[in-house]
Amino acid sequence: MEPVLLRARGVPGSRSIATYLAAGGYEGWKRALGLGPDAVVKEVLDSELRGRGGAGFPTGRKWSFVPKDHPGPRYLVCNADESEPGTFKDREIIEHDPHQVIEGIAIASFAIKANTAYIYIRGEFVRWATILEEAIGEARAKGLLGTNVLGSGFDLDIWVHRGAGAYICGEETALIESLEGKRGFPRLKPPFPAVVGVFGKPTVVNNVETLACVPHIMTRGAAWFASIGRPRNTGPKLFCVSGHVNRPGVYELPLGVTFREIIEEHCGGVRGGRKLKAFFPGGSSAPVMTADEVDVKADFDACAEAQTMLGSGGVIVLDDSVDMVAVADNIAHFYAHESCGQCTPCREGSDWCADILDRMAAGHGRASDPDTLLRICRFSSEGMTICPLGDAYALPLSSMVNKFRAEFERRIADATPLPQKRLPVLPWTGPRPGFGI
C-alpha cells in the first residue's frame, strides 16, 4: 500500500509547513471551507471512517450528534494522550507530519462549527507538544488559522494542553475533566460529550490518527478512502508492533490485513527464531489472542467477531519464552495503578487481581485463584463501572486465565502454599511502578 498517513516519514524537513504545502497540504482545508460544514460531515460519513482511538466509532456520526441549534460555543478536542500500553502511532504522526494533524483539526472544527480546538497531549510528550506548537505557529502565520481564515469568515484557535501523567485521561470524559483543570475522573454517560462536553458545551473528541485521515478524505474523496480495506472497515490504519518481533515499529497497512501478515511479513517474524505464543491485538486492554488465532483479520469487525478488539492498533507480540502469569501480573499492576478510584469494582478489583497475581508469580498460588480472578473480573465488566477501564483490565485478564488456564494451573501445582488465611503482603521481587516520588 502507498503510504498515506506516513507519507512524510523519511522526507527531509517533513515537519515544516513549506514541505507540507509543496506536497499539496492544506488543500483539503481550502476545499472544506468552500463546501460548508454539512457537506464536510457528509463526505466523512460516506468515507466510513471509524475512530482510531480505541472504540472504532464512526467519525461522521459522532460529528453529526452535535446539536445543530446549540448557541455555542462548541469545542473540538484532539486526543493525543496515547497512553494505551503498546500504542505509539500518534507520536509517529506528530514527529513526521504535524501539519496533517493541524489540518485535520481545522476541518473537523469547521464541520462542527467550533472556533476553539484543544490538543490534549500526554505530559511526557514534551518534545511532541513543542512540535505541535511550532506547527500551529506556522499555520497561523500563513493565515490558515486565526481570525477570518483565508477570507472565509471562520475563526479558529488551536491550543496545546499538556496532561500530567494519568492513563485515565485518555478516556474522553476524564480528558474533559482534566482539561477543565480537575482530577481526571470519568463522567457518567449520558449526556455524551457531543451534547455536554468541555465547559458544559458540545464537544467532539477525536484521536490524532482519526483527524490525520480527514485531510486525505477531503482531497481524494470518500470513495477513494472507502476503497481501502473492506466495507465498514475502511482506510489505512497504523499498526504499532512491539514485543518479540524482529522489526518492531509503526506500519501503515489497509484495515483487514491478517495479524499473520503483520507479524510475519512486515515485522520479520518472531525474534530469535522462537515461536509465537500470544499477542494483544489492540493494546493491553484488548483480550489476548493465541498463536492459533493469528489468521484473524486486523479490523474492527473481525476482531469483535473473535471476541477481542482492534482498539488502538497496538499489537504486542509475545514469544514462547514468556510466562503468562508474569504477563498477567504486569498488566494487572498497570491497571491497578491507573484506576481513578471512583468505582469499587475497578479500584478494588484491579488491586486485588494484582495481589493475587503477585502471590502466584512468587510461587504461592492456590487452586482457587483462577476462578477467583475470573469472578473479580466478571464483577468489573459488563457495565458495572462508570467508564470502560473496568472492562479494560477485566477482559484481558480473564482472557489470559481462560486461554492459558493450563499454564496457570501448572504454576499452582508447583506452588508452596502459604500458611496465612488472609491474603499475605509479600515483599516485591521485581520491577514495580513507583508511586510518584
Partner 1 sequence: MTTRPLVVATQETTSDVKFDKTMEDRIADVLRRYPTTRAALLPVLWLCQERFGWISPGVISAVAERLGESAAFVEGVVSFYTMYYTSPPARYVLQVCTTLSCSVCGGRELVDHLTAKLGIGFGEKTPDGSFQLVGVQCLGACGNAPVIQINDDYYEDLTPKKLDAVLDDLKGRR
For residues 3 and 93, the answer to whether their CB atoms sit within 8 Å is: no
CA-nearest of 79, 420, 90 to 237 is: 90
Instruction: Work out whether 339 is an interface residue with ligand FMN (CB under 6 A).
Output: no
Q: How far is residue 288's CA from residue 377's CA, in Å, rounded to a whole number? A: 15
Cell, residue 68: 445543530
CA-nearest of 325, 32, 318 to 152 is: 32
Among 228, 240, 362, 387, binds ligand SF4 (CB under 6 A): 387
Among 53, 243, 281, 396, binds ligand FMN (CB under 6 A): 53
DSSP 428: P
For residues 145 and 33, the answer to whether their CB atoms sit within 8 Å is: no
Residue 317, helix vs strand vs coil:
strand
Among 47, 100, 203, 210, binds ligand FMN (CB under 6 A): 210
Q: How far is residue 286's CA from residue 280's CA, in Å, rounded to a whole number? A: 6
**Distance set, CA 250 to CA 8, 85, 116, 315 (Å):** 13, 14, 31, 10
Instruction: Work out whether 385 is an interface residue with ligand SF4 (CB under 6 A).
Output: yes
Stretch that binds ligand FMN, among 105-113, 148-156, 199-207, 400-408 (CB under 6 A): 199-207
**Distance set, CA 272 to CA 243, 247, 251, 261, 321 (Å):** 12, 11, 21, 18, 11
Cell, residue 27: 488543500
Number of neighbouring beta carbons within 10 Å of residue 178: 23
Rounded to 5°, the CA angle 224-227-229 comes to 135
Q: Based on CB atoms, which residue is closest to partner 1, 56 or 86?
A: 86
Q: Based on CB atoms, which residue is closest to ligand SF4, 169 or 278?
A: 169
**Site residues, partner 1 (CB under 8 A):** 73, 82-88, 90-91, 122-127, 157, 159, 161-167, 178-184, 199, 240-244, 248-250, 284, 314, 316, 318, 322, 327, 330-331, 333-334, 337-338, 430-437
Stretch that binds ligand SF4, among 74-82, 370-378, 381-389, 400-408 (CB under 6 A): 381-389
Least CB distance to ligand SF4 at residue 346 (A):
3
Residue 281, helix vs strand vs coil:
coil
Instruction: Work out whether 389 is an interface residue with ligand FMN (CB under 6 A).
Output: yes
Q: How far is residue 123's CA from residue 196's CA, in Å, rounded to a whole number? A: 25
**Residue 339 interacts with which of ligand FMN, partner 1, ligand SF4, none, CB < 5 to 8 Å by class:** ligand SF4
Cell, residue 214: 480527514
Report 140-169 residues binding ligand SF4 (CB under 6 A).
168
Report 75-94 residues binding ligand FMN (CB under 6 A).
79, 81-84
Q: Based on CB atoms, which residue is closest to partner 1, 294 or 331?
A: 331
The residue with its CB nearest to ligand SF4 is 346
Instruction: Work out whether 387 is an interface residue with ligand FMN (CB under 6 A).
Output: yes
Q: How far is residue 219's CA from residue 250's CA, in Å, rounded to a whole number? A: 24
Stretch that binds ligand SF4, among 97-105, 272-280, 337-345, 428-436 (CB under 6 A): 337-345
Cell, residue 359: 502471590
**Residue 207 interacts with which of ligand SF4, ligand FMN, partner 1, none, CB < 5 to 8 Å by class:** ligand FMN
Residues that bind ligand SF4 (CB under 6 A): 168, 186, 339-343, 346-347, 385-387, 389-390
Binding site for ligand FMN (CB under 6 A): 51-55, 57, 59, 62, 79, 81-84, 168, 170-172, 205-207, 210, 387-389, 392
